Amino acid sequence: MTLPVALSLLSLLLSLFTLLATAGVYARVRTLEQAGGGAQLTDQPQAVPAGLRPGAGDTHALLFLLDAGCGICKGLWETSVRPIPGVRVLGLFTSQEVASTFDGGVEKVADPDLWSAVYEGYAPCVYVIDPAGRIVARRFVYGDTDVPALLSELLPELSDSGSHHAS
């Protein structure tokens, strides 16, 4: 093999490598561009851990995510959280100490792992969970939220499991 032939073979190899590298980068950019670009305008499927699913015989679970630092959590708990027949109504807290400061006859769950599995950056939140453990609806609750109206907006869904949540 002469030197010119060796050199041209080498440069051929080099250009082949460049071509492959460019194609690889292009494919990577394409995947990045399309990442998450599928179905954004749908409800994001979110599942909760088994400990938060509705009990046997319940159609849904109504979960109040509360924390110690929020000013309106206590008011929400005291005025609006009531047992509903056929629905597991529960409050979810970060710790037992926080849970013990909330009085009431509804089920209280204190578990940091469960809490952080559901938490989306805001408390208080109301979640409706179906028997398979999927979140059907989620609402942020504010100081001026009409909670009875909110619950009655969520309650028709509780009797009609397949429906999509309205506005």
Partner 1 sequence: MVAVISTNTRLAPDGARVEISLPPEAPALEWHGNTKIGGPSFLRSFGLAQAGQHRVIPKKIFPGGHTETFRREGFDLVVYESADRTDSCLVWAGPYNEATTWFGGPLPRRSLLNRIVSSVAFADSPEGATVKPALPAMGLQQFANMVYGVSDQLWVTVKDVRTSRDELPAWRGAAQGDAEVWKEKLDLDADQAGALSGTPYEWRYILANSTAVLELFFPQTSATMMRANDAAEHDRVTSIVSGVRAVWAA
- DSSP code for 85: T
Minimum CB separation of residue 14 from partner 1 in Å reads: 26
Grouping H, G, I as helix, E, B as strand and the rest as coil, residue 129 is strand
Is residue 71 part of the contact set for partner 1 (CB under 8 A)?
Answer: no
Of 35 and 56, the one with the shorter C-beta distance to partner 1 is 35
Contact 27, 35 (CB under 8 A): no
Does residue 166 sit in helix, strand or coil?
A: coil
Closer residue to partner 1, CB minimum distance, 1 or 164? 164
- Is residue 41 a contact residue for partner 1 (CB under 8 A)? yes
Q: In the bound complex, what is the minimum distance in angstroms from residue 35's beta carbon to partner 1? A: 7
In terms of Cβ atoms closer than 10 Å to its own Cβ (0-12, 13-18, 19+), residue 67 is middle
Q: Which is nearer to partner 1, 33 or 113 (CB)?
A: 33
Residue number with CB closer to partner 1 (23 or 29): 29
Report in angstroms the alpha-carbon separations of 120 from 18, 95, 153, 161: 45, 17, 21, 24
Q: Which residues bind partner 1 (CB under 8 A)?
A: 29, 32-33, 35-44, 46, 120-122, 125, 135, 137-138, 140, 142, 165-167
